Structure 1
């Protein structure tokens, strides 16, 4: 019985990822989840009390996987400048990943305080990954610099998500140049 519930919950989360990546937060409804999974709408409520609860669980499941992919890519390089570049590029590469698109859609949605706090904590963990590299590069306030770098990454992600006129590589190159060399590039 527990295994069946676990499989149903996983199916609901997978359906939620698809709905978010296809249609944004408006697409994530309990009727749509029920239709995607073949469950009765009332059964969906047995697994999640609200849409925010679905979003919260997606963050708990998907954000660590995404962050781990960034961390692994950073571990493959040695120099602090290379670590910062990989930090930016890997996040931008993940934009096409369904889990990432769901996280982006989630962050744009109206969430309760608990879900927002979980997203903030997850982002804090992501930002912490480059603090040491920025300190090695000479930043006297590396935590602040890391938060600003993440802000630039977030802006580049939004640009990619909008289907901007520029190619993804052009956006990634511009983001890396700005992070590593400033506005003059």
Structure 2
């Protein structure tokens, strides 16, 4: 029986799989224009190339696993921030802050790299569904504020966040990017009349 570094074989396998996913994410974030091969991922994780095949059949299989791991983490991060807010206005601003935080952490670049690396219809479908699920609580908050056309407004909020994200990627100044969006959106959000129960 090979030596394991965790308390159980299951925990050992989970730790090695997580190490491979972390290594793939790091490499994709560091060099977004270059999708790493399994050998590079294994080397970064401190494992042999042959060990990777115990967890992933191919590079595409590994990339699918990175996507499957990343999307729920991003969604949870946004949901947690918005859940802590009682006012709809604060929920929208929390969405802004978390999204820009994801950009600052390199997660947005990772998403773009994954979309380019796995340009399949399935990836496009999953990305659309994920994007819609991220925007759903913003749409609900805008509905609660009494915004007449919440669908159009959520698209505008998203466009402003994307513009701030591009600026953040070029300047590296998270606070300035966040402040620019808040300065633009907050007066509008304060003017809305919340729906009364």
**TM-score of the aligned structures, taking structure 1 as reference length:** 0.80
Q: Where in structure 1 do 4 or more consecutive aligned residues deviate above 6 Å? A: none
Q: 135, 141, 145: which one pairs with 1:133?
A: 141
Cα distance in 2 between the residues matched to 1:97 and 1:167: 12
Equivalent positions of 1:19-168 (< 5 A) are 19-97=27-105, 99=107, 101-161=109-169, 163-164=170-171, 167-168=173-174
Cα distance in 2 between the residues matched to 1:61 and 1:123: 15
Gaps in structure 1 of 5+ consecutive residues: none
Cα distance in 1 between the residues matched to 2:92 and 2:134: 12
Change (3 A) 1:54 1:151: farther
Cα distance in 2 between the residues matched to 1:6 and 1:15: 14
Q: Is 2:181 aligned against 1:175?
A: yes
Cα distance in 2 between the residues matched to 1:89 and 1:41: 39
Cα distance in 2 between the residues matched to 1:25 and 1:120: 22
**TM-score of the aligned structures, taking structure 2 as reference length:** 0.76
**What's the C-alpha RMSD, in Å, of the aligned pairs?**
2.6
Cα distance in 2 between the residues matched to 1:178 and 1:97: 23
Cα distance in 2 between the residues matched to 1:50 and 1:129: 36
Gaps in structure 2 of 5+ consecutive residues: 1-8, 189-197
Change (3 A) 1:128 1:34: same
Q: CA deviation at 1:160?
A: 1.8
